[in-house]
Structure 1
Amino acid sequence: MTDATTEFFSGFGGAQLALHRMGAGRPVVLLHGLFSSAHVNWIKFGTAAKLAEAGFECLMPDLRVHGQSAAPHDPAAYPQDVLVRDLEALVAHLRLVDFDLVGFSLGSRTSARAVLAGLRPRRLVLSGMGLEGLAGWARRQDFFVDVIDRFGTIERGDPAFMAQAFLKTMGVDRVAARLLLGTMADTDPAEPAAITMPTLVLCGENDDDNGSAARLAQVLPDAELVLIPGTHMSSVTMPELGDELVAFLSR
């Protein structure tokens, strides 16, 4: 497998954020999911390696509060859409002009919000995301706040048990995570119509954690829907994830 290198850049407010790189060629920024990391989402199961072998340079930040990136406890470090601000800082730091953008779950939400704020990738991939994950984020946010608040007391059989286990496995700073969750506002259901670049809505066939991927594809002007095997948690482990990203971004 192609090896990844790690460096750091300054995000919003000077927060030191980790950036993992793999490959050389056309730049593609990949944003991981909530409580995950670039390594788990893109590197561990070979997705980034497939893109690198296809001639892409994978630029994979650890989002604020995730992986090797800073997790400040100062509420001032968490304005609304701070992850969008961090993405804009990365694009400016790397002086990216012609690039592609890929997100999974929270990374998809961040990518969509960034495009609505003016970022213009050539192609966009929203994976692990449905329309309700953008327009009805408050429900998901409340679920994860509850997981944090009940952390350590949630027992097997509770719908929040698997999220608690993942939070524990990833060693997430729960104080910072709770602050981060408060930065994410709902997106008006009419707004995604302004996302006009070619977009791939890519989702596990048994993944409805963020609502309907089909409905999301329907409201985007230039989108196609592709389903791969898996649930929300398992779809990132599937080889089809990398295969579909290569096929779409290579056009």
Structure 2
Amino acid sequence: MTAPLMTYVTAADGTRLAVHRLGAGKPIVLLHGLFSSAEVNWIKFGTAQKLADAGFDVIMPDLRAHGMSDAPHDSYGAGVLVSDLEDVLAHFGLRQFDLAGFSLGARTALNAVLAGVTPERLALVGMGWEGLVDWDKRIAFFIDAIDRYDDIRMGDPAFFAKSFMKTQKVDRVAMRALLLSMTGTDLSNLDAVRMPTRVINGDKDHDNGSAQTLVQKLPNATFAEIPGTHMSCVSEPALGDELVRFFAG
């Protein structure tokens, strides 16, 4: 396995974003999930390597307040993750590229397309319709987990979120600021998502609702199921295989 190279991209507000890069060929940008990182979602279990071996230049930012990126404690503007993605695309001069995201990364990728970002192909992993329409409830759950962090014990619905934050050494002040900056996805213009889109979901993943309903709402989407729960599906070899099948097909 080849080790990715890492560089820093400076966002519009001065935040340094760590970007991991592997392979050569057509660029594909991968966005990880909440509390996670490029290493955990894309590199550790070989997904990035499979895409690199298939002839892609795999570009994997750590979202702000995640991984090796800066985690400023200031208030964040609405849409900051989309703005950060646009800064990464501009830094590398990407005009023809593909885009994929897992969970929060999938939501960010979709928001970016609705804001005018134009990948040639789009993959949304671990995202369903309810994860978009009920986004405020998801945000409230994670903010509550941050606020009650020291009091959460095993058996609490937020225990897994607390454990993952601890494992990932999440800066909870920065993460809370990021979560508070997030607004719901504008679902009134889904017809703008015209590029071929693959919605990929674990067979035991119900965290973000119905992936198949999301497929029905998008104008040019297909569905693929892989093994796993919401958290385990990114560790499955089937995810890398499916992404290669879709993007190289």
TM-score range normalised by the length of the shorter chain: over 0.9
Superimposed CA distance per residue, residues 119-177 of structure 1 (whole angstroms, 9 cap, x where no aligned partner): 00000000010112122210100000000000021111111110110000000000000
Q: Given the alignment, which residue of 104, 107, 118 partners 1:106?
A: 104
Q: Which amino acid aligns with 1:74?
A: D
Rounded to whole Å, the distance in 2 between the matches of 1:240 and 1:211 is 21
1:31 aligns with 2:11: no
1:58-137 correspondence runs (5 A)? 58-75=58-75, 78-137=76-135
Q: 1:222 aligns to what?
A: 220
Q: 1:185 aligns to what?
A: 183
- Report the alpha carbon displacement of residue 191 of structure 1 after superposing the two structures with TM: 3.0
State whether residues 228 and 235 of structure 1, in contact with CA within 8 Å, keep that contact through their aligned partners in structure 2: yes
Q: Which amino acid aligns with 2:74?
A: D
Rounded to whole Å, the distance in 1 between the matches of 2:116 and 2:142 is 28
Q: Given the alignment, which residue of 129, 141, 144 partners 2:142?
A: 144
Q: 1:166 aligns to what?
A: 164
Q: 1:207 aligns to what?
A: 205
Rounded to whole Å, the distance in 1 between the matches of 2:43 and 2:186 is 33
Rounded to whole Å, the distance in 1 between the matches of 2:202 and 2:11 is 31
Rounded to whole Å, the distance in 2 between the matches of 1:209 and 1:190 is 23
Rounded to whole Å, the distance in 1 between the matches of 2:190 and 2:104 is 16
User: How many residue pairs are counted as aligned between the two chains?
Assistant: 249
Q: 2:49 aligns to what?
A: 49
DSSP 3-state at the match of 1:14 = coil
Structure 1: runs of 5 or more not aligned: none
DSSP 3-state at the match of 2:27 = strand
| Range 129-138 or range 221-230, more displaced | 129-138
Rounded to whole Å, the distance in 2 between the matches of 1:205 and 1:221 is 23
Rounded to whole Å, the distance in 1 between the matches of 2:90 and 2:187 is 29
The CA RMSD measured in Å over matched residues stands at 0.8
Rounded to whole Å, the distance in 1 between the matches of 2:101 and 2:187 is 19
Q: Which amino acid aligns with 2:57?
A: E
DSSP 3-state at the match of 1:152 = helix
Q: Which amino acid aligns with 2:13?
A: G
- Report the alpha carbon displacement of residue 194 of structure 1 after superposing the two structures with TM: 2.1
State whether residues 9 and 18 of structure 1, in contact with CA within 8 Å, keep that contact through their aligned partners in structure 2: yes
Which aligned runs of 4 or more in structure 1 are off by greater than 6 angstroms?
none
Rounded to whole Å, the distance in 2 between the matches of 1:34 and 1:59 is 18
Normalized against structure 2, the TM-score is what?
0.98
Structure 2: runs of 5 or more not aligned: none
Rounded to whole Å, the distance in 2 between the matches of 1:136 and 1:189 is 12
Superimposed CA distance per residue, residues 29-63 of structure 1 (whole angstroms, 9 cap, x where no aligned partner): 00000000000000000000000000001100000
Q: 1:16 aligns to what?
A: 16
Q: Which amino acid aligns with 1:7?
A: T
